[in-house]
Structure 1
Amino acid sequence: MSSTPTSSPASLRGRIPKVPFWAQILLGLVLGALLGWVAKSGDVHWLEVTLDKIGSIFVQLLMVVIAPLVFFAIMVSITNLRNVSNAARLATRTLMWFMITSLIAVVIGLAIGLLTDPGSGTGLTAADGKEPKKHGSWLDFLTGIVPTDVITPFTELNVLQIVFMAAAAGIAILQVGDKAKPVLDLSQAALELLQKVLWWVIRLAPLGSLGLVGTAIATYGWDLIGKYATFTADIYVGCAIVMFGVYPLLLSTVAKVNPLQFFKGAWPAIQLAFVSRSSVGTMPLTQKVTERLGVPKEYASFAVPFGSTTKMDGCASIYPAIAAIFVAQVFDVNLEIRDYVLIAFVSVIGSAATAGLTGATVMLTLTLSTLGLPMAGVGLLLAIDPIVDMMRTATNVAGQSVVPILVSAREGILDRKAYDAATSSPLEPVPATAAAA
């Protein structure tokens, strides 16, 4: 009597087609928009609450990991510079390219804003906005770097102060030398542990994207979003020009590498940034793809964490440039040439301020206060912020990978064979073997 062989669970799993991570995220975005529309149009309160809870929990999970992750990543990255020859030169070149690309991005943002007049004809007035509780100013930026204690920066997620403490700790470890090796070993182990936990959170990104997008649609609806149509399009077009125009041009002319290969290797980090809306939360994956694209690990472990808190072409250059023009037009304020120069100056010099409070919001308040524009303009833009923040963050992360490649290529330390062989398939947040385990 013969028996029919049964399939093992492992073989059954092998027959089920694996859905690529990017497809999971896209599905989450589409379902989120659909459910948000149902909640808004049908006044389904429980669905709106559910979407809000899903999105909020995902963001909360990211926030729990981010504070200690930033601290250990920056501290370890500074100590890793001891293994890099010409460390000071690399750091200087990195900062220089951060500023160059930021200047290019803000000029593009200003040009788009001047051509399209995003604040004209919106029907919005001062009554539609309100002044934010927190302002960004140069004094706040300078005095806010130094923490009053070692606990508050972590509980309030003041990334700028966390970076300050981490940098001080890293420099101290280098000065102490071998005696500090146990502390360094513990820090490296803690960083690996935090990155592993973050991978678990990242696996929830498709579900998180469903909740976040669904909440945005259910809360604001398409009618309100329509009032910001030109502004939203300007942000997306400006970011697209920088990401798919400026960066490839720099890669091909400065680094002399194939730009298409860059997007092939860096796409997992870019798509995660689009969904998570967090440059810092994407940082481990950004560093991984940057190393896979041929940047030496010792240098990438410095440049990427540094860039994740200071390199913001989307949030600190394109966005405040277009937003300042938008606010000026809504409030009927004429901007002069010196105002546009000030916008460029704030974007290039003050981008580190985005690490201090709430992403691009603090950068916008810093820009508006410098220009003397009404702070109520910030309130006008909060409604559309979740939608434009996705593209802004994706542009940030792309730039945080591009600059280390440019510097490495110019310094002759880029592994061009690794760059040409980079592929996106093995770089999902959690490898299949790990997920199965």
Structure 2
Amino acid sequence: MNIFLVIINLLVFLGLLGLVFFMAKKHIKFSYRVLIALGIGIIFGAVLQLIYGTESTTLSNTIDWMSVVGSGFVRLLQMIVIPLVFISILGAFAKMDVKEKFVKSGVKIISILLGTTAIAAVIGITTAVLFNLDASNINLGDAENDRGITIETTAEGVVDQTLPQQLISLLPANPFLDFTGGRPTSTIAVVIFAAFLGFALIKLTKHKPEIGEKVSNGIIAINEWVMELVKIILRLTPYGILAIMSVTVATSDFRAAVDLGMFVLASYVALIAMFVVQLIIIALTGLNPVTYIKKASEALLFAFTSRSSAGSLPLNIQTQTARLGVPSSIANFAGSFGLSIGQNGCAGVYPSMLAIMVAPLAGVEVDAQFIITLIAVTVIASLGIAGVGGGATFAAIIVLSTLNLPVVLAAVLISVEPLIDMGRTALNVSGSMVAGTVTARTDGTLDKEIYDDQDYDELTASSI
């Protein structure tokens, strides 16, 4: 290893971060900064790999220091997941009029999330069959085998449970444990706990209005406090994206990526097809899908680059309320529930495609019974998927184990996982925004003037 070369690499990296900082000082749009940082990261990572090669100790030491920025950003996103989900749901109840039909709206949101996940599973299965995806054609390397061991360890607590037992495990027996993120299903457990507290707040407000109002005001104040914390972290996005993409590209095995190119192509065909379905659903409610694309684009770009549904939650909610005309309570419910229920990309398209891909290797016949079972299991498994990295793996573990397929084979795509995860995350976030928009539209509470208004400011101009 050459220390001098490592220092040179890091000085260049710091210079690129300085360029991003300069763009912020020049008030370049946030979405442009994220996109430019993404491009810079890809180019810088490719140059590093071209110069040093993936096996270089100089590169590995450079990556170690660069990961302080990239991995640090991801950890900060993970830090805000649980408090953000918890306070967002409570905030929705606190801002909700007692007379609102919250149960009806909540059931509708969950039904849309799960229904679209079923459609996503069908699209994933169809795409995998059309592209003739087969895991038996993939040679597992050291990275895949190591990842497989990790997945098997993670799956130990899941594989031994029946499907009803897995559903019961979603309930928060100890909510304080779930606040620590100590279980794979902690996110949905916190959602359930917050929903119960919200129902209790509605009852309290009915029976003791003065106390209920005080509690609601306190929750709203804490909600604003947490959102300020979120804004601080979101300001770091361009820097985090630059570092993440640099590290990802510099350490990627492009030969493996070429071998798995057909799966990457098939994945994006399925993801785009599902996005088109979401737009059709929007259109069926009498709304212009092109307007939806324009107004949701910044939130979807952030989701794509950050690969974090949870980190995208503030922009998700802001997009719904400020641009799509969705009431705050419905936007909070749809955004928060969408983090852990029915993620179209991570819990719909991905595990269904993976199961079709793995089945031939396991000697399982892909017939009508298998496909119907796969769709049903995929929808059920979509309950409780975490909103920050790893949710797709958890969904895959549940689906594969329930269908008696080897969970270790969920590691076959590790070399192209980041590339696919970008599209999956954007589809997840779009799914939750569609659920909120459609619910508000069918409830008659969507502000059509706001939705149709083409004169709108940059989503993040006042907050980032």
Q: Is the 8 A contact 1:29 1:213 kept in 2?
A: yes
CA shift in 2, pair 1:141/1:213, >3 Å: farther
Q: Corresponding residue for 2:375?
A: 344
Q: CA deviation at 1:270?
A: 0.7
Q: Deviations over 1:322-363 (max 9, x none)?
A: 111222245554322222112211222331131399311110
Q: Corresponding residue for 2:202?
A: 174
- Alignment of 1:149 with 2:174, yes or no, is yes
1:318-333 to 2 correspondence within 5 Å? 318-331=349-362, 333=364
Q: Is the 8 A contact 1:109 1:322 kept in 2?
A: yes
Q: Secondary structure, in 3 states, of the residue corresponding to 2:304?
A: helix
Q: 1:134 aligns with which of 151, 154, 166?
A: 154
Q: 1:242 aligns with which of 274, 292, 301?
A: 274
- Alignment of 1:274 with 2:289, yes or no, is no
For 1:199 and 1:423, how far apart are their aligned partners in 2? 24
For 1:184 and 1:242, how far apart are their aligned partners in 2? 38
Q: 2:325 aligns with which of 294, 314, 320?
A: 294
Q: Is the 8 A contact 1:124 1:330 kept in 2?
A: no
For 1:216 and 1:140, how far apart are their aligned partners in 2? 37
Task: Name stretches of at least 5 consecutive residues in structure 2 with no aligned partner.
Answer: 1-21
For 1:121 and 1:149, how far apart are their aligned partners in 2? 42
For 2:80 and 2:136, how far apart are their aligned partners in 1? 43
Q: Corresponding residue for 2:9?
A: none
CA shift in 2, pair 1:241/1:264, >3 Å: same
Q: Corresponding residue for 2:425?
A: 393
CA shift in 2, pair 1:424/1:175, >3 Å: same
Q: CA RMSD in A?
A: 2.6
1:102-251 to 2 correspondence within 5 Å? 102-119=117-134, 122-125=137-140, 128-129=144-145, 130-131=148-149, 132=151, 133-135=153-155, 136=158, 138=163, 141-156=166-181, 158-177=186-205, 178=209, 179-243=211-275, 245-251=276-282
Q: CA deviation at 1:91?
A: 2.2
Deviates more, 1:393-402 or 1:225-234: 225-234
Q: Secondary structure, in 3 states, of the residue corresponding to 1:309?
A: coil
Q: CA deviation at 1:235?
A: 1.5
CA shift in 2, pair 1:417/1:424, >3 Å: closer
Q: Corresponding residue for 1:380?
A: 412
CA shift in 2, pair 1:365/1:121, >3 Å: closer
Q: Secondary structure, in 3 states, of the residue corresponding to 2:312?
A: helix
For 2:296 and 2:132, how far apart are their aligned partners in 1? 33
For 1:275 and 1:404, how far apart are their aligned partners in 2? 23
For 1:180 and 1:250, how far apart are their aligned partners in 2? 38
Q: Is the 8 A contact 1:66 1:281 kept in 2?
A: yes
Q: Is the 8 A contact 2:188 2:341 kept in 1?
A: no
Q: CA deviation at 1:82?
A: 4.1
Q: Corresponding residue for 1:315?
A: 346
For 2:378 and 2:187, how far apart are their aligned partners in 1? 18
CA shift in 2, pair 1:422/1:73, >3 Å: farther
Q: Secondary structure, in 3 states, of the residue corresponding to 2:154?
A: coil
Q: 1:22 aligns with which of 27, 31, 53?
A: 31
Q: 2:88 aligns with which of 61, 73, 83?
A: 73
Q: CA deviation at 1:249?
A: 1.4
1:89-100 to 2 correspondence within 5 Å? 89-100=104-115
Q: Corresponding residue for 1:33?
A: 42
For 1:84 and 1:384, how far apart are their aligned partners in 2? 49
For 2:168 and 2:376, how far apart are their aligned partners in 1? 20
Q: Is the 8 A contact 1:81 1:302 kept in 2?
A: no
Q: Deviations over 1:141-189 (max 9, x none)?
A: 3243234534322223621222122122222222222324333322221
Deviates more, 1:342-351 or 1:256-265: 342-351
Q: Secondary structure, in 3 states, of the residue corresponding to 1:373?
A: coil
Deviates more, 1:410-419 or 1:133-142: 133-142
Report how many aligned residue pairs link the two structures.
418
TM-score, structure 2 normalization:
0.83
Runs of 4+ aligned structure 1 residues displaced above 6 Å come to none
Q: Is the 8 A contact 2:124 2:353 kept in 1?
A: yes
Q: Corresponding residue for 1:334?
A: 365
Q: Is the 8 A contact 2:175 2:189 kept in 1?
A: no
For 1:218 and 1:326, how far apart are their aligned partners in 2? 28
For 1:423 and 1:272, how far apart are their aligned partners in 2? 21
Q: Corresponding residue for 1:305?
A: 336
For 2:92 and 2:342, how far apart are their aligned partners in 1? 16
For 1:250 and 1:278, how far apart are their aligned partners in 2? 24
Q: Is the 8 A contact 1:75 1:169 kept in 2?
A: yes
Q: Corresponding residue for 2:76?
A: 61
TM-score, structure 1 normalization:
0.88
For 1:59 and 1:94, how far apart are their aligned partners in 2? 28
Q: 2:103 aligns with which of 82, 88, 93?
A: 88
Q: Secondary structure, in 3 states, of the residue corresponding to 1:217?
A: helix
Q: Which amino acid aligns with 2:167?
A: L
